[in-house]
Amino acid sequence: MNRFHMSLAVAGLLVAVSAGSLAAVGYECRQFGALAQDIGDALDAGDTARARRAYDRMEAAWDGFHHVMGLFVEGTQLHELRADMAGLPPLLAEDTPEARSALARLEKRIEALYEEEVPSIWHIL
């Protein structure tokens, strides 16, 4: 009977860790996506200074995002996201139309990170 109880405990622990990891990935992606949305809102308003400040907040949040997401996501995906982020400051400084498309690509990468980690029926089919 002890083995049965131990196996239930291990199964419960696995479920708890899995649920916690999904919650962590979801939270980090939502927070990072909100920062990207702040940049987009500032660009839509034509306020490049506010867009730059929003980018600075995103840059400051990168270490925490990278630390958590690095536990669950392949490193090359995070490097691609970081490369997209690195391309934004010159575009924001010049207020170019390409800034909006670069930001849209960044937002799609963040969304893709989340969608790849969350189990769904589409991943099974």
pLDDT tens string 64-92: 999 988 888 888 889 999 999 998 998 88
Per residue in 71-104, is it b (16+ CB within 10 Å) or e — as a string?
Answer: eebeeeebebbeebbebbeebbeeeeeebeebbe
Per residue in 21-37, is it b (16+ CB within 10 Å) or e — as a string?
Answer: eeeebeebbeebbebbe
Q: Provide the whole-model pTM.
A: 0.83
Q: Which domains does the chain have, with CATH numbers?
A: 21-118 (1.20.120)
pLDDT tens string 3-60: 898 999 999 999 998 888 888 889 999 999 999 999 999 988 888 899 999 999 999 9
